[in-house]
Structure 1
Amino acid sequence: MIKRLKSYFKFLAAIVLLISLGSCKTIALPLFSSQPFPQVPNYENDSAWAVLPSNYPIDLLDKQSNTANLPADVFYIYPTLNIEKKDLRWNVPISDTVQNEKVINTAVKFQASAFVNAGRLYVPYYRQAHLRSYSNIEKGGESALNLAYSDIKIAFETYMEKYNNGRPIIIASHSQGTTHAIRLLKDFFDDKELQSMLIAAYLPGIGISKNEFETINLMTEPSETGGFVTWNTFKKNYYPKNYSKWFEGNAVSNPITWDSEISSSRMDHKGFLFTNNKIYEQALEVFVKDGILWTSLPHFPFRIFLMGKKNYHVGDINLFWEDINSNAVLRVKTYFNTKD
């Protein structure tokens, strides 16, 4: 157990680089244009999807308490999982078994699972950009992120044509996934006819302007629909590097109360999904700051492993797993009640 927890927090330390956006020191980082593109996914094939309603992994089935006919869909885009400095690829092919294992056993298990009771879940594999793309934009990062988004766009178009059948949609994402989700919302929903089918967009892990969208607004009520919520989680009293550049003045939501309250107590917290697959209730109090979310040190048996950690980016979703689970269900119910 200790070994597994240490491995988890090693992953936490690595993913923190996404927020600090420090330089990635590689000896011979190739130009994006010098590498062949990984094969374009064919989303008509089930194998191009990490999750379809017809092939839920066991961890999703275990967390699905609502097995009734779900009237909504959830389109989830996973975060940056390719973080190895020695990996010089700008984009990962969807045939990469190591990457795909991370998608299922990290992103789907601890993040996408929070939405499994709100709707039928769709998770496309995509040619994800390497973590270094954010700190090497001009050398190839922008092109790598554009390539990754091209997959998400095609996957969503395929989803709409093949699977949607007029069902309302939740867009959910984290980190790099949110980078792509913002573009997806602008391309398909923002001030467009499809916005009427948007239940909510959950967009943690990237700084988002309060005026990012033309007609998709920041939601400030727990049952509100048609808008977005977002947050970036840090330990109380900590301001991240480049705070003024990447976070200050941006939108931020309280993922416990889902309203305009700037703080909430431990008693309000519904549950934190930890790596041992257990939910710990009443573990956090949070404080909404200017553009970021502060949280107390989680109050649970393994809190020692978070001592000294200041950036909780990797836990943006699973720290509030039960809160998100309940809220997503509530927004779906509200959406249909207002349509009756």
Structure 2
Amino acid sequence: MRNKDFLNQIKPEFDFDSSTTPKAPDYHLLESWVAHPNKYGNQFLIPNGKLEQKEFDIDVFYIHPTGFFGKEWNSDTNPKLSAYEKSESHITSQVSAFNDACNIYAPEYRQATYYSFYDLTENGYKAQDLAYQDIENAFDYYLENFNNKKPFFIASHSQGTLHAQRLIHNRIINSQVLSQFINAFLIGYIVPTKYMNTIFNNLKISTNAHDTQSIISWCTSVEGFSRPNAHCMYWTPDGWKRENMEQEIICQNPLNWKNSDISIENKMQSSIKVKSSNMSIIDYFATENTNSEFSIAYTESQDFSSKVSSNNMVQVKGNLINKISRFSSNGDLHNFDISIFWGAIRDNVKQRISNF
């Protein structure tokens, strides 16, 4: 959790007002998509290079995490602003894992500000509702104009996963597109098992590397990390709730795709790091897009192991983790949920496609 001083610096000074929200994105415009097959952008990056544009028979619809720390309840989607550039950095570090198997579609949306997750009034929920409205509109536009009956994944992280769960419930599980749905990678936000039948009926919890029409999820930490008193906002068909983060949640170890407390050693090129020419990922108060060029490289060390802990998190250890954990004040490796396992995800996507 962020310290109170930081939260006070980014807390909006007014209530949410639907009449003063930023302009809604227009999804027939390419600039409203952070990643799109017709944009030769960061989604094509690979370690030490960039793939050529290529059309695939499979899509992934990706919802990026929070990159907006402003004092408004929702971000503007203007590409000239820093929030858009942070979205580009998330494209680089996260959904690029899908780029040798899938066409990547990632809408920019009026994401809720980071503070909204700590807000205990209705303002935070209203900000998330507005953000979700954009995601649903983007998904509808994607289905009507781009998908052409292709099989697809849903992939998301953090705030993106909060919205992805709602999207799957509202637009996939009871619709004709269910037959096209391969899997959902719902990473970096709790997915309580108690809501499986309520939110994800017609789907199952993934139990191996090959199953389809299932839910895959994890949150990453160092060994011994826990969050017994932490709560987070959570959407259900009955409305918004505050859920304890220490409960039975869906969790698979990306090194074997099982819910198991057996520690698995990494034996592949999996972990990546992202370099930026101008942007500082930790400059939370930036307002303008610095027009950075991004690149990916494998981390020098790939020495780590992972297991599912008793509190349903993927806990990691090893030389790589010792280096990464210096960027975390408490052992929560939320910002590295995907980059640590980038190569493992990349391989698994192709496995699940082959089995669909």
The TM-score range, normalised by the shorter chain, is: 0.7 to 0.9
- In structure 1, the partner of 2:316 is 295
Q: 1:204 touches 1:231 (CA, 8 Å); kept in 2? A: yes
Tell me whether 265-274 or 229-238 shows the greater mean CA deviation.
Answer: 265-274
Output the CA distance in 2 between the equivalents of 1:306 and 1:334.
Answer: 38
Q: 1:202 touches 1:229 (CA, 8 Å); kept in 2? A: yes
Q: 2:162 touches 2:189 (CA, 8 Å); kept in 1? A: yes
- 2:261 paired with 1:262: yes
Q: Deviations over 1:204-253 (max 9, x none)?
A: 11111122421221101101111110011111011125258213211111
Identity %: 26
- In structure 1, the partner of 2:251 is 252
- In structure 1, the partner of 2:223 is 236
Output the CA distance in 1 between the equivalents of 2:67 and 2:106.
Answer: 15
Q: 2:30 touches 2:39 (CA, 8 Å); kept in 1? A: no
- In structure 2, the partner of 1:278 is 297
Equivalent position amino acid for 2:165 in 1: I
Which of 328, 331, 335 aligns to 1:314? It is 335
More strand by share: 2
Which of 2, 23, 35 aligns to 1:39? It is 23
Q: 1:217 and 1:178, CA in 2 relative to 1: closer, same or farther beyond 3 A?
A: same
* Pairwise CA distance, 1:44: 1.0
Which of 93, 96, 107 aligns to 2:76? It is 93
TM-score (norm 1): 0.84
Q: Deviations over 1:63-102 (max 9, x none)?
A: 666976421001000001113xxx3100011115211111
* Pairwise CA distance, 1:264: 3.4
Q: 2:36 touches 2:105 (CA, 8 Å); kept in 1? A: yes
Q: Deviations over 1:100-146 (max 9, x none)?
A: 11111x20110111111221000111001001111114241000000
Output the CA distance in 2 between the equivalents of 1:38 and 1:28.
Answer: 15
Q: 1:311 and 1:166, CA in 2 relative to 1: closer, same or farther beyond 3 A?
A: same
Equivalent position amino acid for 2:62 in 1: Y
After superposition, the CA RMSD in angstroms is 2.7
Which of 306, 320, 329 aligns to 2:350? It is 329
Tell me whether 213-222 or 243-252 shows the greater mean CA deviation.
Answer: 243-252
Q: 1:256 touches 1:270 (CA, 8 Å); kept in 2? A: no
TM-score (norm 2): 0.80
Q: 1:79 and 1:308, CA in 2 relative to 1: closer, same or farther beyond 3 A?
A: closer
Output the CA distance in 1 between the equivalents of 2:264 and 2:150.
Answer: 36
Q: 1:80 touches 1:129 (CA, 8 Å); kept in 2? A: yes
Output the CA distance in 2 between the equivalents of 1:43 and 1:311.
Answer: 35
Q: Deviations over 1:311-337 (max 9, x none)?
A: 1001111110000011111111211xx
More helix by share: 1
Q: 1:262 and 1:98, CA in 2 relative to 1: closer, same or farther beyond 3 A?
A: same
- In structure 1, the partner of 2:169 is 186
Output the CA distance in 2 between the equivalents of 1:208 and 1:58.
Answer: 28
Output the CA distance in 1 between the equivalents of 2:23 and 2:33.
Answer: 15
Which of 139, 142, 153 aligns to 1:156? It is 139
- In structure 2, the partner of 1:218 is 205
Output the CA distance in 1 between the equivalents of 2:273 and 2:352.
Answer: 25
- In structure 2, the partner of 1:120 is 103
Count matched residues. 314
- In structure 2, the partner of 1:173 is 156
Which of 99, 105, 130 aligns to 1:147? It is 130
* Pairwise CA distance, 1:191: 3.5
Q: Deviations over 1:45-65 (max 9, x none)?
A: 111111110113156244666
- In structure 1, the partner of 2:61 is 75
Q: 1:31 and 1:23, CA in 2 relative to 1: closer, same or farther beyond 3 A?
A: farther
Q: Which runs of 5+ in 1 are unaligned?
A: 1-15, 336-340
Q: 1:24 and 1:97, CA in 2 relative to 1: closer, same or farther beyond 3 A?
A: closer
- In structure 1, the partner of 2:287 is none
Q: 1:193 and 1:47, CA in 2 relative to 1: closer, same or farther beyond 3 A?
A: same
Q: 2:35 touches 2:43 (CA, 8 Å); kept in 1? A: no
Q: 1:74 touches 1:118 (CA, 8 Å); kept in 2? A: no
Output the CA distance in 1 between the equivalents of 2:18 and 2:137.
Answer: 24
- In structure 2, the partner of 1:5 is none
Q: Which runs of 5+ in 2 are unaligned?
A: 232-243, 276-295
